[in-house]
Amino acid sequence: MTDEFLQAAIEEARAGLAEGGIPIGSVLVHRGKIIGRGHNRRVQQGSAILHGEMDALENAGRLPAQVYRESVLYTTLSPCPMCSGAILLYGIPKVVIGENTTFMGDENLLRQRGITLEIAQNAECIALMQHFIEQHPTLWHEDIGE
Amino acid sequence: MTDEFLQAAIEEARAGLAEGGIPIGSVLVHRGKIIGRGHNRRVQQGSAILHGEMDALENAGRLPAQVYRESVLYTTLSPCPMCSGAILLYGIPKVVIGENTTFMGDENLLRQRGITLEIAQNAECIALMQHFIEQHPTLWHEDIGE
């Protein structure tokens, strides 16, 4: 059974897909409660920086450092260098990653800096991205700077 | 004499300060022309992700990978891990940094990944941050996750 918070991130990814966007979602969880949720907004807002994780962090709003340090970030896809950098900036100690088979982010850097990563290899996350990349390869490459 | 693009980044920082914000500005320059400019929006928009560099990238809009690879990012302050990650995501090959004395960002990581850094140690950039940090230490620490 899928973790309830990973499930919430998947719901965000599906909401993004329904809007015509890239299906990547994320939630920030503080002490067992979702305090921010979001999904990739490249298409919807013409955004170059609102990846799923960034949108979740933005929607969580301004927070004291201590809150990030007691939080877990859930994301449907392995975090790219930008999102990994945001995790490092705020010192989020743990990241639960839906899958890293369709895209491998900066996981090595995160591990080197002491972040705990949990990779679910969730079939739904993989299917969402596989299907999207097949149908929109150019858009996907734009999102990862390729 | 200050480089015209670093000067534009400083103007952005000053605009942010005039709005009551954190005085850090940035411009993205493609083949000698500014294609995006911005400044830190933590205070103004209650944003956790709009550092100066992120705001400049966002305001540049969606761009093909090739444009980033021919661009230079100017920023008044050494880029934090999040902004460094964004530079890596988009493969921006060169960053001109106003100063790194009041805050040292993830310059080592950028250099390791082959990004060219030019540090101006510009007196105006240093004075802007020194004064701001003295007056608003809590706000500044929040911005860098401390």
List pLDDT tens digits, range B73-89: 999 999 999 999 999 99
pLDDT band at A1 (very low <50, low <70, confident <90, very high): low
For residues A145 and A139, what is the distance between their CA atoms, to the nearest angstrom?
Answer: 10
Average pLDDT, integer, range B1-25? 96
Average pLDDT, integer, range B87-103? 98
Q: Strands A25-30 and A94-97: what pairing?
A: unpaired
pLDDT, one tens digit per residue, over B33-68 is 999 999 999 999 999 999 999 999 999 999 999 999
Give the torsion through C-alpha atoms of A81, A85, A91, A96, to 10 deg: -20
- Phi-psi region at A122: left, alpha or beta (left = phi > 0; alpha = psi -120 to 50): beta
Interface residue A82 vs chain B (CB under 8 A): yes
The yes-or-no answer on residue B53 being catalytic is: yes
Q: Can you give the pLDDT at residue B1? A: 65
Angstrom CA distances, B144 to B81, B82, B114, stand at 9, 10, 24
- Domain range annotation of chain B: 4-144
Mean of the per-residue pLDDT values of chain B: 97
Q: How many other β-carbons are positioned within 10 Å of the β-carbon of residue B133?
A: 16
- Minimal Cβ distance to B142: which of A57, A62, A81: A62
Q: How far is A92 from chain B (nearest CA, A)?
A: 10
Instruction: Please state the separation of Cα A114 from the chain's center in Å.
Output: 19
**β partners of residue B38:** B26
**Residues of chain B with C-beta less than 8 angstroms from the C-beta of A109:** 109
**Residues of chain A with C-beta less than 8 angstroms from the C-beta of B60:** 48
Question: Above pLDDT 70, what percent of chain A?
Answer: 99
Asked if B113 and B93 count as a contact pair (C-beta separation under 8 A), the reply is no
Q: How far is A1 from chain B (nearest CA, A)?
A: 33
pLDDT band at B2 (very low <50, low <70, confident <90, very high): confident
For residues B145 and B103, what is the distance between their CA atoms, to the nearest angstrom?
Answer: 12
Q: Can you give the pLDDT at residue A83? A: 98
| CATH number for domain A4-144, candidates 3.40.140.10, 1.10.3720.10, 1.10.1050.10, 3.40.50.300 | 3.40.140.10
Angstrom CA distances, B125 to A111, B31, B34, B49, B120, stand at 34, 24, 19, 21, 9
Interface residue A141 vs chain B (CB under 8 A): yes
Task: Answer yes or no: do A47 and B54 touch at CB < 8 A.
Answer: no
Identify the active-site residue in B53, B70, B134, B146: B53
Structure tokens given for B17: 């300060």
**Residues of chain A with C-beta less than 8 angstroms from the C-beta of B46:** 61-62
Identify the active-site residue in A53, A107, A124, A142: A53
Instruction: Please state the separation of Cα B117 from the chain's center in Å.
Output: 13
Average pLDDT, integer, range B15-21? 98
pLDDT, one tens digit per residue, over A60-106 is 999 999 999 999 999 999 999 999 999 999 999 999 999 999 999 99
Question: Above pLDDT 90, what percent of chain B?
Answer: 99
